[in-house]
Amino acid sequence: MSGDRAVPSDPVEAPPSAPPPVPLARNRGYRLLWGSQALSEFGFHASMIAFPLLVLALTGSGAASGLVMGTIAAAQMLAGLPAGVLVDRYDRKALMLGCEAAQAVSAISLVVAVWGDAATVPHMVAVAAVFGAAAALFEPAENAALPLLVDDAQLPAAVSMNTARASMGQLSGTATGGFLFAVGRFVPFLADAVMHTLSFVALLFLRLPKPERPAAAPGRLGHAMLTGLRWVWQERRIRVTILCAVVLNLFFSAFYLVVIVLAGTRGVPSGEVGVMAAMLGVGGVAGALAAPVLHGRLGAYRAIVAVFWALTVLTPIAAVVHSGYLTGVLFALMALFPPTANTAIMTEQLLRTPDHLRGRLTSVLALACGAAGAAGPALGGLLTQALPGDRAILVCSAGMAAAAVLATASPTLRGLSRIHPEPHP
């Protein structure tokens, strides 16, 4: 028998566990970004409601008012895809600061012109173009920066809080802009300039990590845009979730116009129509706040499918409701659900997309949804011309039902709940 004793091996130390992520409420970077854009969006929407009022007051021309407002949408569409390339190539914080500075300077120039009775339609068109292009550039920069500021598990909450912020900015800015215009024609634009300036200062303190990216070929803007479009199209899950967002925007915007027209033909007072529109915003804010919980409980697939079916069930009710206030309640209920689908879609897309393509992803999504948002009212207008209002609503409901069936049967969407995507493929 050997006298040697076995020497116990050294205990293997378990690898240290990663520290828990900082809660969003204490995440300095996220709070700076969210707070700065809460100010910026308030100012932007105050200007948006004041712009047509200013043009009408100065020119009396509805066509000129449409030109100015159309310039904003056109600039956003035209700048969308190039903006995504810029976001993927250059420093995102610098781009966001540039957007805020450009909007502040443009708004100040309009304040000076209105104050001095020198405002012209070409000047207002130029300011509108700056506003639209800056919005097109800032959105992909912010969305691409979001996964760098928050933990992957917190991304649904961050996306939904951004959605709530946008709804609150639209509600408060639109309501306040009209009041400020009554105080003075230049006042809403002065408030906008102040908000963008404050947002610029806040973003100066943002510390944004700089991820490693593949070297980009300078000067090949068109090729880079095509690369982004090709990647989105080839990624089946990205392609299908974008299609879901497009269908939601198309039918919901068509339905909204149909209901507004139907309310007018039924003699609903304009005050009640205003309440209807406001309740849509209230429901959107509440839905955005509830989205993280619903997304966490349902998962991506069930969240998207539940939204389609909820809208399918609720849409036909508008055909038999004659009260503007009750229609407002219906709008609020319907607006509760889309933020959950948007949260599921955006979270899946951001986590599945490499960092160097996230700007182009957001630009493609914004372009597709913007086109659907523009086509929806056109579709709604055609429906109201061809059919009585209640039947037009049923057509919108049928479109929603068809989309709900296709989404429910989609194997690609069903697979979303079973996949745990890597943050940086």
Contact criterion met (CB below 8 Å) for 253 and 308: no
The whole-angstrom separation of Cα 1 and Cα 398 is: 87
Query: For residue 11, how many other CB atoms are within 10 A of its CB?
Result: 6
Residue 219: per-residue pLDDT: 57
Q: Which two tokens stand for residue 156?
A: 């649904």
Tell the burial category of 160 from Cβ atoms under 10 Å away from its Cβ (0-12, 13-18, 19+).
buried
Contact criterion met (CB below 8 Å) for 285 and 41: no
**What CATH superfamily is the domain 27-152+170-208?**
MFS general substrate transporter like domains (1.20.1250.20)
> How many CA atoms lie less than 13 Å away from 392 in the CB half-sphere?
26
End-to-end CA distance of the chain: 58
Per CATH, 27-152+170-208 and 226-416 having the same topology is answered yes
The whole-angstrom separation of Cα 345 and Cα 403 is: 16
Contact criterion met (CB below 8 Å) for 315 and 397: yes
The whole-angstrom separation of Cα 132 and Cα 141 is: 15
In this structure, which amino acid lies at residue 248?
A: L
Q: Which two tokens stand for residue 228?
A: 């982004």
Which backbone phi and psi does 146 adopt, to 5 degrees?
Answer: -60, -45
Residue 196: per-residue pLDDT: 95
Residue 107: per-residue pLDDT: 94
Residue 51: per-residue pLDDT: 82
Residue 418: per-residue pLDDT: 45
Which residue in this structure is represented by tokens 């493929």? 425
Q: Does domain 226-416 have CATH number 3.40.50.150?
A: no
The whole-angstrom separation of Cα 151 and Cα 334 is: 30
| Run means of pLDDT, 10 residues per run, the chain, 425 residues | 45 53 83 92 88 83 77 83 87 93 95 90 91 91 89 86 85 83 89 95 89 60 80 85 84 83 78 75 85 82 88 90 86 86 84 85 82 80 83 88 89 68 37
- Per-domain residue ranges of the chain: 27-152+170-208, 226-416
> How many CA atoms lie less than 13 Å away from 270 in the CB half-sphere?
0
Contact criterion met (CB below 8 Å) for 283 and 331: yes
In this structure, which amino acid lies at residue 408?
A: T
Query: For residue 289, how many other CB atoms are within 10 A of its CB?
Result: 18
